[in-house]
Structure 1
Amino acid sequence: MNWNELLKRQPAAVRVLQGGLQKERLPHAYIFEGEAGVPKEAAARLLGQAFLCEERTTVHPCGECSDCRRVLSGSHPDLLTIEPEGASIKKGQVEMLQKEFTYKGMESAKKVYLIHEAHRMTASAGNSLLKFLEEPEGETLAILLTENLHFLLDTIVSRAQVVTFAPLPEDERAEELKEQGYTNGQAALLARIADRATVEAQEEPGAWIVQAKTVVVQLTEEVQKRPQQVLLTLQEKWLPHFQDRKEQQIGLDLLLYWYRDVLYTKLKRLSLAYPDEVERLHEEALHTSEEKVSRQLEAILDAKRQLAANVNSQLLMERLLLRLQEGF
C-alpha cells in the first residue's frame, strides 16, 4: 500500500504524516489510534520505510533501495516490532528493545520500532517505555498502535503525537463484505465488529458469525421472556461459542448492537445490525422504554471494560444478564 492508496481511505491521518515527511520534522514518537481493521499498521510500515529510505526525495520512499526492499520483505534489521506475549506486553520485551537500540543501526544510523496493541502493556512495561521515550537513542522513530488510547499512560500519550484513524462507514464496509461472499445479515454484523480479524481467523467465518448471532438473539429473547433460562443458555451456548477474551468481546459487541437496534427501532432509524430480525426488534421495542434500553447499553459497556481488565468472564456475564433483566 502506498501513500496515494492510504490517502483515499484515511485523508486526515495521511496528511499529518506527509506533512512531517515534507518538512523533515517527524516527532520521535507517534501513537496511531483507531479501531481494528483500519490501516494503522500499513501506515506505520510505510512511514517507517520512508524514514529509513536513504534515496527518498519526496514523501514517497523510492521502493527500490536496499532499505525499502528489506522493509517490504519484513527483514530490515533496523525496523523492530513488539507484539503482546500472551495477554500483555511485558517489561522484559521493552527492556530487550532498549538493548537492541544501544547497538548502532546495521543499515544506517536510524532505527524504527512498532509496538502493536500498545494498550496491552503492563504498568511496568509502560514505565520502561516512558524512560525510553524521554531519552531516545540517536535517530529513532517510535510508532505505537492502539485501539484504546485511554488505556495508555497519560505520560506516554503526552510525549507522542497522536494520529487518529477514522473508522470506515458501516454501510461501505458491509458492501465490501457482501462482495466477498457474505450474506446481507452476516455482512451487516461483521461490518460493525471492530475486531473483524478474530472472526476472519475462524475456520468458517460466515458460519461462526451466524452461530454467534443465533446465540445472541436467543439470549436476548430469554432475558425478556424466559429469565429462568438465561444461565442455562449462558452455560450451554454462550461460553462454548465465545471461548477466549477476544471472542467474548465480540459477543458483548453483538449484544450491544442488538440493544442499539432496539433503540433505533423505537426511534424509527434505519441501518440496523440485525436487518433480518426486524419483527423481533419491533416486538421488544414495544415492551421497553428508551430509558431502559439506555441502561442496558450502559451495562454492556461496563462489562466490556471489566472484561478488558481481566475480570472472570463467566461471573461477568452472570452479573450482566441480571442487569439486563431488570425491569422485565
Structure 2
Amino acid sequence: MIKSWEDVRVYQPRITKLLTNSIEKKRLAHAYLFEGKKGTGKKDVGFLLAKSFFCDNLQQVSPCGECRNCKRIDSGNHPDVHVVEPDGLSIKKSQIQSLQEEFAKTGVESNKKLYILVHADKMTTNAANSLLKFLEEPHSNTIAILITEQYHRMLNTILSRCQLVSFQPLQPKAIEAAVMNQDISKHIASLVAQVTNDTEAAFGLARDDWFAQARMKVIKLYEVLINRKGQAPIYIHSEWMSHFQDKEKQETGLDLLLYLYKDLLTIQLGNEQQVIYSDMMQQLKQHALQMTQRSVTDKMTSILEAKRRLHANVNPQLLMEQLVLTLQEG
C-alpha cells in the first residue's frame, strides 16, 4: 500500500512532482483525469491525494496516516470522500445524480469534498452529460478525480475540464522496489517485476506460494540440465507437469526458465547488476564462462519457440520433453 509521496516517487516521479507542488502551494485543481495502463498506481495515488487533502497533521505534503481522516479514508468510510465505480458494465446517470445530491449538502465535517470515478470511460452518455454539468460549475474546496485506462473514449468536453495526469508504464526496477517495500525478498521481487508491469498483480504473485515453488522448480530443472543432462525428461514427467498444470502456468514456467538463460547472457555481456536470479550469481557466473554467447542465445530462442508452440496447442508434456532435449545439447 502507498503511504507517502516518496513511495509514489519510485515509479511515477513526474506525477509526484506535479501533485506535491500543487499540495504545497495549495493550488490543487478542481478536477483531475488520471489515465494510464492497468497497474500503474492511478487509484492508489487518488486515495493518497485524498488523504493529503483531508489530513489533520500533514507532514509537509504527505498525509500522517494516523489521524482520524487518514484512517477513515484507508478504511473506505470517510463521509466526504465518495467513490463511484461501474454498476455492472457502466456508470449510470442515477449514480452521478446521487453524487450530485451528496455534494449539494454541506460537508459533514468540513467544507471539503472529494470524489473518485473509477473506470470513468464506462459512463453512459447520460451519465457523462450529467457529470459535465457538475464539472462546469465546480464547488470550492471540491476535487474530482476521474480514473481511466482508455481516456480516448471520453467526451472531449469532459477532458477539457480536467487536468490530464498520464501515468507511465512501470519499469521492472520500480516494480521490484515497490514489491520489496512490502517486505518481500529481493529474489522474488526481481522475478515478479519481470513477469508483470502491474503492481497489484506483482504483489499478488510475490505472496503466492505457487509462484515461489514455481521458481524453485525452474531452478531445479536448470540444474538438472547443467549437471544431470540425461535426467531432464524424467524430471519433466515426475515434477514439472504436476506443478505447471494449465497453459497459463506452463507459459509462466517457460518465462521463468527464459530469465535464467537471459541472466547467463547478461553476465557474459558484463551487466551483472541486471541479473534477475541474483541469489544464484556465483553459479551463473561459472556457467556463463562455460558457454558461448551463441549457445546461450540459441537456448533462449528454443524456449521462445516452445512458448509459440504452446499457443499452437501442442501437447505440453511432449513440448517440454523436446525442449529439454534441445537445451541439454552443447
Asked whether the equivalents of residues 10 and 174 of structure 2 are also in contact (C-alpha less than 8 Å), the reply is: no
1:279 is matched by which residue type in structure 2? S
Residue 23 (structure 1) aligns with = 25
Q: Which of 239, 248, 262 is the aligned partner of 1:212?
A: 248
2:14 is matched by which residue type in structure 1? A
* Greater radius of gyration (CA): 2
TM normalised by structure 1 equals 0.57
CA–CA distance in structure 1, aligned partners of residues 120 and 10 of structure 2: 26
The SS at the match of 1:115 is strand
Asked whether the equivalents of residues 31 and 143 of structure 1 are also in contact (C-alpha less than 8 Å), the reply is: yes
Deviation readout 1:262-285 (Å, 9 max, x if unpaired): xxxxxxxxxxxxx99833756999
Equivalent residues in 2 for 1:198-209 (5 A)? none
Return closer, same or farther for 1:23/1:213 CA change in 2, 3 Å cut-off.
Answer: same
CA–CA distance in structure 2, aligned partners of residues 195 and 136 of structure 1: 33
Residue 266 (structure 1) aligns with = none
Q: Which of 6, 24, 36 is the aligned partner of 1:4?
A: 6
Moved more, 171-180 or 141-150: 171-180
Deviation readout 1:292-316 (Å, 9 max, x if unpaired): xxxxxxxxxxxxxxxxxxxxxxxxx
Asked whether the equivalents of residues 34 and 147 of structure 1 are also in contact (C-alpha less than 8 Å), the reply is: yes
Aligned-pair CA distance for 1:114: 0.6
Return closer, same or farther for 1:190/1:87 CA change in 2, 3 Å cut-off.
Answer: farther
Asked whether the equivalents of residues 174 and 187 of structure 1 are also in contact (C-alpha less than 8 Å), the reply is: yes
The SS at the match of 1:32 is strand
1:279 matches 2:281: no
Deviation readout 1:134-173 (Å, 9 max, x if unpaired): 1123420001111112122111111111111221125765
Aligned-pair CA distance for 1:195: 8.6
CA–CA distance in structure 2, aligned partners of residues 42 and 183 of structure 1: 20
Asked whether the equivalents of residues 116 and 146 of structure 1 are also in contact (C-alpha less than 8 Å), the reply is: yes
Runs of at least 5 residues in structure 1 that lack an aligned partner in the other structure: 216-274, 286-328
CA–CA distance in structure 1, aligned partners of residues 137 and 170 of structure 2: 36
Aligned-pair CA distance for 1:57: 6.7
Residue 105 (structure 1) aligns with = 107
Asked whether the equivalents of residues 118 and 144 of structure 1 are also in contact (C-alpha less than 8 Å), the reply is: yes
The SS at the match of 1:37 is coil
CA–CA distance in structure 2, aligned partners of residues 63 and 211 of structure 1: 42
Deviation readout 1:102-153 (Å, 9 max, x if unpaired): 1110010010001111121122211111110111234200011111121221
Asked whether the equivalents of residues 31 and 162 of structure 2 are also in contact (C-alpha less than 8 Å), the reply is: yes
CA–CA distance in structure 2, aligned partners of residues 179 and 209 of structure 1: 26
TM normalised by structure 2 equals 0.57
Equivalent residues in 2 for 1:58-97 (5 A)? 58-97=60-99
Asked whether the equivalents of residues 33 and 165 of structure 1 are also in contact (C-alpha less than 8 Å), the reply is: yes
Return closer, same or farther for 1:54/1:86 CA change in 2, 3 Å cut-off.
Answer: same
Q: What is the percent sequence identity of the aligned residues?
A: 38
Q: CA RMSD in A?
A: 4.1
Asked whether the equivalents of residues 10 and 165 of structure 1 are also in contact (C-alpha less than 8 Å), the reply is: yes
Asked whether the equivalents of residues 36 and 196 of structure 1 are also in contact (C-alpha less than 8 Å), the reply is: no
1:278 is matched by which residue type in structure 2? T
Residue 130 (structure 2) aligns with = 128
2:40 is matched by which residue type in structure 1? V
1:83 is matched by which residue type in structure 2? E
Deviation readout 1:242-289 (Å, 9 max, x if unpaired): xxxxxxxxxxxxxxxxxxxxxxxxxxxxxxxxx99833756999xxxx
Q: Which of 115, 118, 129 is the aligned partner of 1:116?
A: 118
